[in-house]
Amino acid sequence: PSMETPRLWTEAQVKATLPHREQESHKGSYGTALLIAGTKEMPGAALLAGLGAMRSGVGKLVIATEAGAVGMIVPQLPEATYLQDGLQQIAQHQASVDSYRAAAIGPGTNPSGLTEDAVHVLLGSAMPVILDAGALSRRTYSERQAPIILTPHPAEFSRICGVAVDALQENRAHYAADWAKRLGVTIVLKGQKTITAFPDGEIWANPSGNSALAKGGTGDTLTGMMLGMLCCHDNWKHAVLNAVHLHGACADEWVKQHSPHTLLAHELTGLLPEVWARFE
């Protein structure tokens, strides 16, 4: 296989590409994001992604989740609004997706026919779409103008491309780049030095982050952050790369004072305000 060598998306590049928040702006300027996440059994994933999105520049957030999850999310994220049983509503064309600036689907959801239908509806829209966790399955993608962003960890990527995790990990950049081109999507292959491979062949590695992130929920937080970033950046590639970098930078901030064993995913979004400010 060819040896793609990704460049690092550095702190300097993040600083140069983060968007400004204009004085004259209002919430409409930053769009409404749609997050399809969480079930009654896994409401936390929707909360973590919701916190990530609302801390990452978006104007408004609608969380499409199961009725049973709403009551748990509201006390910790009163700023969001809801589409109850939103997965069904969107999959069955009962709720329109026309008014959103970007969407993410998958954290805390199960792969199912309904999820496939909802993914299909989202891909029929003109907005950037992030597919994570329960929405990552083996499928092909038809040509569309707006970006499709897959955020698999190595086990999920292994299911998509049929290559064993060990072999994948030996040559992460190669496989990410290959499948980004084959599928015509952006692949954010998570883990140590997360690889971001764009369908046009551009490829980057992320220098931030550490083993504190090896814990349930941190991926859901990243998906939310990326969703928010897509809404406040003009350049969608910068949004993806900056989300990955800032997510890792929050974990780096954590280990300055705390053991890497102890991070909780929601604490990443607790740290984000001060970490982000240092990049501005």
Which residues are at the interface with ligand B4P (CB under 6 A)?
A: 133, 153-155, 165, 190-192, 194, 209-211, 213-214, 216-220, 222, 247
Minimum gap (Å) between residue 220 Cβ and Mg ion: 6
DSSP 236-276: HHHHHHHHHHHHHHHHHHHHHHS-TT---HHHHHHHHHHHH
Minimum gap (Å) between residue 208 Cβ and ligand B4P: 8
270 binds, among ligand B4P, Mg ion, none (CB under 5 to 8 A by kind): none
> Per CB under 5 A, does 149 bind Mg ion?
no
> Per CB under 5 A, does 106 bind Mg ion?
no
165 binds, among ligand B4P, Mg ion, none (CB under 5 to 8 A by kind): ligand B4P
38 binds, among ligand B4P, Mg ion, none (CB under 5 to 8 A by kind): none
Cβ closer to ligand B4P: 84 or 192? 192
Cβ closer to ligand B4P: 101 or 190? 190
Minimum gap (Å) between residue 163 Cβ and ligand B4P: 13
Output the residue with the shortest Cβ distance to ligand B4P.
219
Minimum gap (Å) between residue 187 Cβ and ligand B4P: 13
Minimum gap (Å) between residue 166 Cβ and ligand B4P: 9
> Per CB under 5 A, does 133 bind Mg ion?
yes
Minimum gap (Å) between residue 156 Cβ and ligand B4P: 6
> Per CB under 5 A, does 217 bind Mg ion?
no
- Yes or no: say if 67 and 38 are a contact pair by the CB < 8 Å rule: no
Cβ closer to ligand B4P: 147 or 152? 152
Q: How far apart are CA 115 and CA 205, in angstroms?
A: 30
> Per CB under 5 A, does 136 bind Mg ion?
no
Which pair of tokens denotes residue 100? 């959103």
Residues near Mg ion (CB under 5 A) are: 133, 219
